[in-house]
Structure 1
Amino acid sequence: MDSQFATKVMLVDDEEEFIDLMSQRLETRGLKVVAVTCGEEAVAAVEDRNIDVAVVDLAMPGIDGIETLQRVKAKRPDIEVIMLTGHATLHSGIEAMKHGARDYLEKPVDLNVLMEAIRAAKNERMTSLKKKSAEEVKHILKSKSW
């Protein structure tokens, strides 16, 4: 895969060992990875980086995964977010989805399951961006008097 078009994934988790290992595993599969260890870093990273998918841990010190999800979506609604948790509950899953998470996976996550979730999220983002671009072009054409 051409690295220019590689899926750009941001991993957000306070467990550095997990983030190091997962970054290596995803990069080996052709993804570009930005790894951060807290929600505040994630929110800052989406401002100046082109990210397709964020994989966010639910339980983190400081701002937790749900708040990180909300802030990322507020700044960049086009980024798809996959929540990861070692403490899955029905309530936390519903909360994540209500705030715009695309998926909700349990740790330890199977790499093939995560890769499929990332691929589906990237496809969803690309479809959404294409639709938005087409609507913008249609609007521009309607507003011009040529």
Structure 2
Amino acid sequence: MTRTATTDQALRLLLVDDEPGFVEALGRRLARRGLDVHMAGSGREAIRALRRADFDVAVVDLKMEGMDGIELLRIVKAMAPELPVIIFTGHGSERAAREGLALGAFDYLLKPCELDDLLATIRQAAAQSAPA
């Protein structure tokens, strides 16, 4: 499910990564920049969050234990086809991230990336998916 953020509402972001320290630190940094961040530590947790709430954008780590980012992307696109998903990847998995683009991901970013680059991509994804 997605929703459209208005100018006086914070963008609702679903941030999914199985590294607790990373997801918490990044989530705090994005929240300080005005985003309403919901953090999920696994693909299953992300699916539960999608069932309970609407989001403007999802940022999903590619390499996770259990359900990887590509599998989660497929499920998200079945549940909420209009939700923009940004793949976040490290470990030299750029080829797999390109596969994500073919499956409907909005974009992918390589870890580590500058916070401003991530924010710009999140805002671009939210703006592109907003109804005219």
Q: What is the TM-score normalised by the length of structure 1?
A: 0.82
- 2:56 alignment partner in structure 1: 52
Q: Which among 40, 44, 48 is matched to residue 40 of structure 1?
A: 44
- 1:89 alignment partner in structure 2: 93
Whole-angstrom distance in 2 between the partners of 1:47 and 1:78:
15
Gaps of 5+ in 1: 132-146
Q: Which among 69, 74, 91 is matched to residue 73 of structure 2?
A: 69
Provide the identity percentage. 42
Whole-angstrom distance in 1 between the partners of 2:7 and 2:31:
11
Highest RCO, 1 vs 2 (Cα 8 Å, sep ≥ 6): 2
Secondary structure in 2 matching 1:78? coil
Q: Which among 106, 128, 131 is matched to residue 124 of structure 1?
A: 128
Once superposed, what is the RMSD of the aligned Cα atoms? 1.6
Whole-angstrom distance in 2 between the partners of 1:40 and 1:109:
25
Runs of 4+ with deviation above 6 angstroms: none
- 2:3 alignment partner in structure 1: none
- 1:139 alignment partner in structure 2: none
CA contact 2:27–2:39 (8 Å) conserved in 1: yes
Q: Deviations over 1:22-70 (max 9, x none)?
A: 1110010100000000001111211121101000000001110000111
- 1:108 alignment partner in structure 2: 112
Larger radius of gyration between Structure 1 and Structure 2: 1
Whole-angstrom distance in 2 between the partners of 1:91 and 1:20:
27
Q: Specify which structure has the higher proportion of helix.
A: 1
Query: C-alpha displacement at 1:3, in angstroms?
Result: 8.8
Query: C-alpha displacement at 1:90, in angstroms?
Result: 4.2
